[in-house]
Amino acid sequence: MKNNTIKETLRITILIPTLVLSAACTQKSVEKRTSKVKANFNGIAIPENYKDWRVLSASHRLDLTSMRIILGNDIAIEASRSGQTNPWPNGTIIAKLVYKQKQEDNWPTAIAPNEEKFIHAEFMFKDSKRFAGNGTGWGWARWLGDKQVPYGDKNDINQSCIACHTPVKGKDWVYTTSIKLP
């Protein structure tokens, strides 16, 4: 009995520091991963987990021969599936990942994103209070290339985005219509 108690105490004294240590390491590696990408000039950080988001749609620009994958965070996906997209709810984040296009390796009449030529990732962040000042209720940010360099200039980070999205002002500034899933 006494032996068992000692064993148990030993087990716990070894186990607890190990758990704490591994939790600390996990925490550190997450911080390291997210802090690699610099925040944009307007103070917007790149969303930590956008690579895990789900697809809203895709598009293809004929003039720029590039392909775009449009993703949403959970709030965006839920809003799009329940048709609550005009306006999109606060907390929505929409991402657009842009690649140069290439011919599909094994099927010449198909095109696909060229995984070697990532152009940029850009995001719209809906927060009608925080971003009321720019007249859209969205925060706008873009990171360039594989190195994810913040794009823009501190005097004019939003204006080019907003100017080009003005034709869809009536659709809460969003071009994409989410694809319907059967």
Q: State yes or no: residue 76 binds ligand HEC (CB under 6 A).
A: no
- Contacts with ligand HEC by CB under 6 A: the residue count is 20
Tell me how far, at minimum, the Cβ of 118 lies from ligand HEC, in Å: 15
Q: State yes or no: residue 54 binds ligand HEC (CB under 6 A).
A: no
Q: Which of 85, 92, 136, 176 binds ligand HEC (CB under 6 A)?
A: 176
DSSP string, 25-84: HHHHHHHHHHHTSPPPTTSPPPPTTGGGPEEEEEEEETTTTEEEEEEE-HHHHHHHHTT-
Sheet holding 93-103, edge to edge: 54-61, 66-72, 93-103, 111-126, 138-144, 149-150
Q: State yes or no: residue 159 binds ligand HEC (CB under 6 A).
A: no
Q: Which of 85, 96, 97, 113 binds ligand HEC (CB under 6 A)?
A: 96
Output phi, psi for 115, to 5 deg: -65, -15
Q: Please choose, out of 71-79, 80-88, 105-113, 140-148, the segment that lies near ligand HEC by the rule CB under 6 A.
A: 140-148
Which residue, 163 or 181, is less far from ligand HEC as judged by CB?
163
Among 13, 85, 5, 95, smallest CA distance to 47 is for 95
Q: State yes or no: residue 70 binds ligand HEC (CB under 6 A).
A: yes
Chain centroid to Cα 77, Å, comes to 13
Query: Where along the sequence are the contacts to ligand HEC (CB under 6 A)?
Result: 59, 61, 68, 70, 94, 96, 122-124, 140-142, 151, 160-161, 164-165, 174-176
